[in-house]
Structure 1
C-alpha cells in the first residue's frame, strides 16, 4: 500500500468525510439543476408552481435537522457505550463504520440541499424548467431520506453493542490479515541471521502506522543501500529503537527521506497491523472477565473469534520483489501472547474460560504447524496459572482432562 493510498484511506474513515462529501454533492445538485434548466425549451407541457417545490423543501429542512442531531447523539452514545463495555481502542472502528456514516450523511446532505433550494426559489433564480428539474431531484432526495431512515432503524439497534463491536474488530483484523497475505514481509526479503547496518531512528516516539516499502526500495536502489526494516507497522519506535538499519553511505537528506517512508503516529492503526486487532480483542475479553462486568460468556465468544482468525493466518514464507529490503517475519509466540496472556492471567480461576482457551490452542496447534510449538508453550503457561488459581478439585480434574493434548503430541 502506497503512502498516498494509506492517507486517503485514513481520511475516508474520518467521521466528517462522508457528510462533507454528501453536502458538497447536495449543493452541486442544486447548481446543476439551475444550469440544466437553461438548456430546456421555453414552453413546457405544464407549469410547476414554485410553492409546490418550496413546501416539500421546507418540510425536509425543518425535519431533517432534528433527525440529523438525533442520529449524531445516538452515535455519540454508541461511542460511550462501546468505550465503557468493551475498549476505547474499538471506538475508531465504530466511528469509521460506513453504514452509520452514510445514513447521517444523507440526513445532513438532504438538509443542506433543502436550504440551498429554498434560498434559490426565494431569490427567484429558477425558471419554470428549473423548478421542474428541482422538483424531480427533490423527489429523488425524498426517496433517499426514507431509505436512510429505514436503514438507520436497523443500525441503531446494533451500533455500540458488545456483539457488534466484536464483529467490527474481527472484520478489521481479517482485513489486516488479508493485506499481510497479499504482501507478506511487506514484499521484502526475509531477514536471515542478525541484522546489520547503521541505525536510523524516528525523531519522536510513536507507533509505526505504515511503511511505504516501494519508496524505500527506490531510495535503496538509487543510493546503493541495503535496508533492514526493524519497525514493522505496530512497533513502538523511539529515538533509541531504530526504524531501520542501513548498509551504505547516507547523508542527512537521505536519512530524512528514508524516515519519511514511515508514518509514525500516537496510536496504532488496524490497516497493516493484524496484531493490533488481536490486542483489542484481548482487551474486550479481559474487560468482560473483570469483577464489575463478570461476563465469561463474552470472553468465550471472543476466544472463538480469535480461533477463526488464527486459522486464517498466512505464514510469511515467500519473499517479495523488494530485493534491497530485509524484514523479519512476525513471531508466532508474540501473536499468541498478545491475546492469550491477559486472559490466562485474569481468567485463570474460571474453568470455562480456561477450557475454551486450551481447546482454541489445541485447534491452532493442529491446523497451523508454524504455530504448533508456540501454542503448546502458551497452553502450558495457561495450565500453570490455572492450577495455582483454582481452588475446587473438580475444576482441577476438568483442567487435567482438557489439557491432556499438550504432552500427548
Structure 2
C-alpha cells in the first residue's frame, strides 16, 4: 500500500512540475465560472442590480460586445508575448548556462499561475460574449458578467506587469544559481537531520540474491518505508545497488535480498522504485553540484568568458560541500529496534568531489584567479572537518594536489606558481 501511495504522490509531483499543470487547472476554473455566471444571470441578478445599483451593470449590447471582443484580442496578444518570453528565457538559459537548469525554470509555479490567469480570463470572456443574445435588452443582457470581465482584465494587466518583472529576474544567472543552491541546501539539511548517527552493522551482501531492473531510466526515488513494509514479515534485509540519479538499464542489477521470498513481496519492492527520464534537485541534491559545475565551466568558455559567474558558482559549491561533509556516504533505513534493514547506495563524497573537480580542473586550470578560489574552497573544507568523517580530509587534500598539478602545467608565470605552491603548503599544514 505504501508503494502504491508513493507512486501516486510521485506522479502528482511530476504532473505538478509540468508547465501546463497549473494553467490547465486555473483555465478550468475560468471555464466553470463562466457557466456559473450564466446560471446566475438566468436568476435575473442583472435585473436586480439595475434596479438597485445600476452603475454596476453594462446596459448596452454593443458596448458589452465591444468590450469583450477587445479583451479577447488583447488577452491573446498578451499570452503570445508571455509564452514567447518564456521560450526566450529557456533558450538563453540552455545556451549560456546549462541545459540541466531547464526543468527548474519550466516548473516555476509563479509563471504557470500567471499563464493560467490569462487563459481563464480569456475563456470567461469568450463564453460571456457567446451568452449575449442578439435581441437582448437591459434585463436579458448579462451586464454584471461583463463588469466582472472588466475586473478580471484589470487583474490580468497587473499579472502581466508582475510577469515582466519576474521574467527579468529569472533570466539573471545569480538568481538561477541561488535557487539551485537553496533547493539543494534544503534537501541536504533534511538528509542530515534524519540520518542515523550510529554505526551500522549491515552485513556483506556480495552473495545475496540479485534482482534485476524491469525497466530503464533515471532512478529518481525509492520509498524505503515501502521496501521495509514488504520485507519486515520475512525477516530479510535489502541492499539497493543503484543510487539516486543513476541511469539504470533494463536487466541491470537493481537490489539484493538475503534470500528468496514470496513473489508478491518482491513485486512490492519493485513498485517502490520510481524511474524517470528527467531529474530534479528536490529528489537528488547531486544534480545541484552538476548544474553549478556546468555553469562555472560554461562561464569560463572562450565564447562567454565570465570568470565572475564561475567564482559565484564556486562559492555555492563550497557551501554545499561543507554541508555534504556532514553527511555520511552510507544511508540506511532502520526498524523500531534500531537495526538497519535497508541499505541505500548513495554517491560517495569522493566520487562527488572528483566529478566536480575533474571538470573544473580541465577547463579552469589556466586561470590563476579560479585556481586560487578553488584552493580556498579546499581550505574551508579542511577547516570544517570537525563535523565530517576523517576520510573526507584526505580526499579534499588529494583533489587539491591534483588541481595544483594541472595548474602548474598550464600556468607559466613564476609569481602565480609561487602563490599556488604556498597555498598548497598551507593546505597540507591544515590537514596534518
- Please give the TM-score of this superposition, normalised by the length of structure 1: 0.89
Q: Residues 191 and 86 (structure 1 numbering): CA distance in 2 closer, same or farther, change over 3 Å?
A: farther
Q: Does 1:233 align with 2:244?
A: yes
Q: Does 1:30 align with 2:34?
A: yes
Out of 379, 396, 421, the residue aligned to residue 375 of structure 1 is 396
Q: Does 1:392 align with 2:404?
A: no
After superposition, where does 1:65-104 map in structure 2 within 5 Å?
65-104=76-115
Q: Residues 35 and 74 (structure 1 numbering): CA distance in 2 closer, same or farther, change over 3 Å?
A: same
Out of 207, 213, 217, the residue aligned to residue 224 of structure 2 is 213
Aligned to 1:169: 180
Q: CA deviation at 1:351?
A: 0.8
Q: Does 1:352 align with 2:369?
A: yes
361-370 or 173-182, which moves further after superposition?
A: 173-182
Q: CA deviation at 1:387?
A: 1.4
**Residue deviations 1:271-315 (CA, integer Å, cap 9, x gap):** 221111101111111111222222222111100111222334442
318-327 or 93-102, which moves further after superposition?
A: 318-327
Determine the C-alpha separation between the residues in 2 that align with 1:108 and 1:368: 53
Aligned to 2:125: 114
Q: Does 1:13 align with 2:34?
A: no
Determine the C-alpha separation between the residues in 2 that align with 1:335 and 1:303: 14
Out of 420, 424, 429, the residue aligned to residue 403 of structure 1 is 424
41-50 or 351-360, which moves further after superposition?
A: 41-50
Q: CA deviation at 1:247?
A: 1.5
Q: What are the ranges of 5 or more consecutive residues in structure 2 without an aligned counterpart?
A: none
Q: Does 1:308 align with 2:306?
A: no
Aligned to 2:292: 281
SS in 1 for 2:327: coil
SS in 1 for 2:210: strand
Out of 72, 79, 94, the residue aligned to residue 61 of structure 1 is 72
Aligned to 1:268: 279
**Residue deviations 1:199-246 (CA, integer Å, cap 9, x gap):** 112124322011122221111124443211222311232346422111
- Please give the TM-score of this superposition, normalised by the length of structure 2: 0.84
SS in 2 for 1:2: helix
Q: CA deviation at 1:394?
A: 1.5
Contact 1:190 1:329 in 2 (8 A): no
Q: What are the ranges of 5 or more consecutive residues in structure 1 without an aligned counterpart?
A: none
SS in 2 for 1:94: helix
Q: CA deviation at 1:157?
A: 1.9
Contact 1:177 1:274 in 2 (8 A): yes
Determine the C-alpha separation between the residues in 2 that align with 1:35 and 1:217: 53
Contact 1:189 1:327 in 2 (8 A): no
After superposition, where does 1:122-201 map in structure 2 within 5 Å?
122=133, 128=139, 131=142, 133-135=144-146, 137-181=148-192, 183-184=194-195, 192=202, 194-196=204-206, 197-201=208-212
Q: How many residues align structurally?
A: 408
Q: CA deviation at 1:38?
A: 5.2
Contact 1:183 1:320 in 2 (8 A): no
The higher radius of gyration belongs to 2
Q: Residues 393 and 304 (structure 1 numbering): CA distance in 2 closer, same or farther, change over 3 Å?
A: same
Q: CA deviation at 1:377?
A: 1.9
Q: CA deviation at 1:72?
A: 0.7
